[in-house]
Chain A
Amino acid sequence: MSYIVDRRLNGKDKSSVNRQRFLDRYKKQIREAVSDAASQRSITDVESGEQITIPQRNISEPIFQHGQGGDRTIIHPGNKEFATGDQLQRPETGGGGSGSGEASDSGEGSDEFMFSLSREEYLDFLFDDLALPNLIKQHLKGTDSFRFKHAGVVSEGNPSKINIVRSMRTSLSRRLALGGSSRARIKEARRELELLREEEINVERQQAILLLEEEIKTLTERLARIPYLDTYDLRYNHHVKDPVPTSQAVMFCLMDVSGSMTQPMKEMAKRFYMLLYLFLERSYEKTEIVFIRHHTSAKEVDEQEFFYSRETGGTVVSSALKLMDEIITDRYPVDQWNIYGAQASDGDNWNDDSPVCKKFLTEKLLPITQYFTYVEITPRTHQSLWDQYQLIEQECGDRFAMQEIKDLADIYPVFRELFHRRES
Chain B
Amino acid sequence: MSETRKKEKCQPISEGSEWTFDLIEQYDLEIARVAEHYGLDTYPNQIEIISSEQMMDAYSSIGMPVGYNHWSFGKQFISVNQNYKRGVMGLAYEIVINSNPCIAYLMEENSMTMQALVIAHACYGHNSFFKNNYLFKTWTDASSIIDYLVFAKNYIAKCEERHGVSEVESLLDSCHALMNYGVDRYKRPYPISVELERQRQKEREEYQQSQVNELWRTIPGDTQTRRAGDKKIQFPQEPQENLLYFIEKNAPRLEPWQREVVRIVRKTAQYFYPQRQTQVMNEGWATFWHYTLLNHLYDEGKVSDGFMLEFLQSHTGVVFQPHFDHPGYSGINPYALGFSMFCDIRRICESPTEEDRQWFPDIAGSDWLSTLHFAMQNFKDESFILQYLSPRLMREMRFFTVHDDDKKEMLEIGAIHDEQGYQKIREDLARQYNLSVNEPDIQVVNVDLHGDRSISLRHKRQQRRPLGDTTEEVMRHVHRLWSFPVHIESSCDGKIEKNYHCPPRAKTDPSLFGMGFNFMGV
> Min CB distance, B436 to chain A, in Å?
12
Chain B contact-residue range equals: 35 or more
Across the interface, A84 reaches (CB within 8 A) one of B85, B105, B420, namely B420
> Min CB distance, A82 to chain B, in Å?
5
Residues from 53 to 70 in A contacting B, C-beta threshold 8 Å:
59-70
Q: What separation, in Å, do the CA atoms of A65 and B475 have in the docked complex? A: 12
Across the interface, B467 reaches (CB within 8 A) one of A4, A5, A64, namely A64
Cβ–Cβ contact B77 & A84, under 8 A: no
Q: What separation, in Å, do the CA atoms of A25 and B45 have in the docked complex? A: 39
A1 within 8 A of B: yes
Binds A, one of B6-14, B135-143, B395-403: B395-403
> Min CB distance, A19 to chain B, in Å?
4
**A22-B71, A65-B467, A98-B325 known; A116 and B82 CB under 8 Å?**
yes
Chain A residues positioned under 8 Å from B404 (CB to CB): 71-74, 90, 100
Binds B, one of A10-18, A190-198, A410-418: A10-18
Chain B residues positioned under 8 Å from A17 (CB to CB): 69, 74
B47 within 8 A of A: yes
Cβ–Cβ contact A77 & B321, under 8 A: yes
Across the interface, B77 reaches (CB within 8 A) one of A19, A74, A83, A89, namely A19
Q: What is the chain B residue whose CB lies nearest that of A108? A: B469
Interface of B, helix, strand, loop or mixed by DSSP: mixed
Cβ–Cβ contact B414 & A84, under 8 A: yes
Chain B residues positioned under 8 Å from A72 (CB to CB): 403-405, 463, 465
Q: What is the chain A residue whose CB lies nearest that of B337? A: A77
> Min CB distance, A121 to chain B, in Å?
12
B442 within 8 A of A: yes
B123 within 8 A of A: yes
Chain B residues positioned under 8 Å from A19 (CB to CB): 74, 77-78
Cβ–Cβ contact B54 & A77, under 8 A: no
> Min CB distance, B491 to chain A, in Å?
13
Across the interface, A63 reaches (CB within 8 A) one of B45, B79, B474, namely B474
Residues from 73 to 114 in A contacting B, C-beta threshold 8 Å:
73-80, 82-90, 98-100, 102-103, 107, 113-114
Q: What is the chain A residue whose CB lies nearest that of B400? A: A79
Chain B residues positioned under 8 Å from A7 (CB to CB): 48-50, 54, 105
Question: Using an 8 Å CB-CB cutoff, how does the interface string of B455-472 with A read, 1 for contact, 0 for none?
Answer: 000000111111111110
Q: What is the chain B residue whose CB lies nearest that of A8? A: B51
Cβ–Cβ contact A64 & B45, under 8 A: no
Chain A residues positioned under 8 Å from B105 (CB to CB): 7
Cβ–Cβ contact A64 & B28, under 8 A: no
Cβ–Cβ contact A77 & B411, under 8 A: no
Binds A, one of B171-179, B245-253, B350-358: B171-179
The residue in A13, A67, A102 that gathers the most chain B C-beta atoms within 10 A of its C-beta is: A67
> Min CB distance, B253 to chain A, in Å?
22
Binds A, one of B207-215, B307-315, B421-429: B421-429
Chain B residues positioned under 8 Å from A13 (CB to CB): 53, 57
> Min CB distance, A256 to chain B, in Å?
44
Cβ–Cβ contact A107 & B401, under 8 A: no
Question: Using an 8 Å CB-CB cutoff, how does the interface string of B178-210 with A read, 1 for contact, 0 for none?
Answer: 111100000000000000000000000000000
Chain B residues positioned under 8 Å from A14 (CB to CB): 54, 57, 61
Binds A, one of B89-97, B216-224, B326-334: B326-334
Q: What separation, in Å, do the CA atoms of A246 and B452 have in the docked complex? A: 65
B365 within 8 A of A: no
**A107-B470, A113-B79 known; A88 and B412 CB under 8 Å?**
yes
Q: What separation, in Å, do the CA atoms of A18 and B82 have in the docked complex? A: 15
Residues from 1 to 49 in A contacting B, C-beta threshold 8 Å:
1-8, 10, 12-15, 17-25
Q: What separation, in Å, do the CA atoms of A60 and B406 have in the docked complex? A: 27
Chain A residues positioned under 8 Å from B442 (CB to CB): 64
Chain B residues positioned under 8 Å from A103 (CB to CB): 330
The residue in A8, A71, A73, A90 that gathers the most chain B C-beta atoms within 10 A of its C-beta is: A73
Chain A residues positioned under 8 Å from B409 (CB to CB): 90
Question: Using an 8 Å CB-CB cutoff, how does the interface string of A284-303 with B read, 1 for contact, 0 for none?
Answer: 00000000000000000000
Cβ–Cβ contact A102 & B177, under 8 A: no
Cβ–Cβ contact A82 & B79, under 8 A: no
Across the interface, A76 reaches (CB within 8 A) one of B51, B400, B420, namely B400
**A4-B47, A71-B465 known; A88 and B413 CB under 8 Å?**
yes
Cβ–Cβ contact B473 & A12, under 8 A: no
> Min CB distance, B143 to chain A, in Å?
16
Q: What separation, in Å, do the CA atoms of A24 and B165 have in the docked complex? A: 11
Q: What separation, in Å, do the CA atoms of A75 and B108 have in the docked complex? A: 39
Chain B residues positioned under 8 Å from A61 (CB to CB): 72, 173, 176-177
Chain B residues positioned under 8 Å from A62 (CB to CB): 177, 470, 473-474, 477
Q: What is the chain A residue whose CB lies nearest that of B442? A: A64
**A70-B464, A75-B400, A75-B425 known; A84 and B415 CB under 8 Å?**
yes
The 7 closest A-B pairs by CB, nearest first: A78-B323, A70-B465, A18-B74, A22-B74, A65-B468, A2-B45, A76-B324
Question: Apart from A12-B53, A18-B77, A22-B78, what 9 extra A-B contacts exist at CB < 8 Å?
Answer: A2-B123, A7-B48, A13-B53, A21-B70, A63-B179, A64-B474, A89-B411, A100-B411, A115-B82
Task: List B residues at the A interface (Cβ < 8 Å).
Answer: 21, 24-25, 28, 32, 44-51, 53-54, 56-57, 60-61, 69-75, 77-79, 81-82, 85, 101, 105, 108, 123, 165, 169, 173, 176-181, 321-326, 329-332, 397-407, 409-418, 420-421, 425, 428-429, 431-432, 438-440, 442, 461-471, 473-474, 477
